[in-house]
Amino acid sequence: MPLESPKWALSCEAWASGSLVVVGGVHISAVPNSMTESMDIGVVGEGEVTFGDVVELYLETRDLDARHLSRVPGVVYWDSGQLQYSETRKRVPDLDSLAHPDRSMMNSATKLNALLSRGCPFRCVFCFSTQRWGKIRYFSPGYVCEEIERILRVTDRGMVKFWDDLFATSFSRLQAIHTALEASKLLGQFQFTCNARSNLLTEDTVRLLKEMGCVSVGMGLESGNEEILQYLKGKNISISDHESAIGLLKRHGIEVAGSFIIGSPMPHNLRPILGFQGAYFLRSGANLASQT
């Protein structure tokens, strides 16, 4: 986490009060050597099993010193002023084995979020997802239904954000989720937003998303320059894929949200970028978000 962030300030305050500070998430997993001395333990990678082991170890020993922590896979910790790393924690092979989040302990905004898969089949040059999650893994359609049911029990807003890197990776998976939602009588009980990749969106896929309750799709459009786009996302995607996906989503009444990366590390002419982003994309009525 950035050193000026509120979370970092909170960790300093907690550490100063004598509390044990354990941090986790994408930042500490990407750069564990950035852990400061106001943080006692960093959980690297998937945290459910690792954090459970840390808690159990503390309850057993009441002393999370280096000798004990070295036995817990997937952590970084301090020993005599030096950062030490335990062995790598293996990724969870069966995501359905994980317990559902206890949303009674979350704020109202978090209650409306769900992660139905981990990972991504693509290798965008700027993205940490593959390193963090490994190959793409899915929660089963049955687990997905249970998750949505639990969300609907704690909110009456009926709008869920699916945080998957790519929700619509496979038409057959969408069909399986659609079937499970229908069997559980959940179709029509909620709406959702999700992320997709433009070259994976077909007429059938978008129609199915609409039937399932999708109201908005976010896409990493990244650039209006073909060369830069393919540098960032690979050779199997194009500006025409973006145009096609935007048109499909708009025709089915689904809002489009796009993100762009400004300042990619290669020479380029800004004219085609601004031409696409500023003319076609904005003219389509889609929302624009920039990432720098």
Selection from 176, 37, 41 nearest residue 117 by Cα:
176
135 and 253, same structural domain?
yes
Chain segment 189-225, per-residue pLDDT in tens:
999 999 999 999 999 999 999 999 999 999 999 988 8
67: domain range?
6-85
135 and 20, same structural domain?
no
Report yes or no: 12 and 55 within 8 Å, Cβ to Cβ. Answer: no
Report yes or no: 114 and 161 within 8 Å, Cβ to Cβ. Answer: yes
Final residue in a domain of this structure, among 85, 116, 146 = 85
209 and 186, same structural domain?
yes
Query: Is it the case that residue 129 has pLDDT exceeding 90?
Result: no
Amino acid 184 reads S
Minimum mean pLDDT among 89-93, 113-117, 277-281: which range? Answer: 277-281
Minimum mean pLDDT among 105-109, 140-144, 204-208, 255-259: which range? Answer: 105-109
156 and 36, same structural domain?
no
C-alpha pair distances (Å), 280 with each of 248, 271, 273: 14, 13, 11
pLDDT of residue 290: 44
pLDDT of residue 157: 77
Residue 260 lies in a domain: yes
105 and 72, same structural domain?
no
Instruction: Quote the CA–CA distance of 273 and 225 in Å, as a whole number.
Output: 5
For range 179-186, the mean pLDDT: 97
Domain count, the chain: 2
Selection from 48, 33, 204, 222 nearest residue 118 by Cα:
48
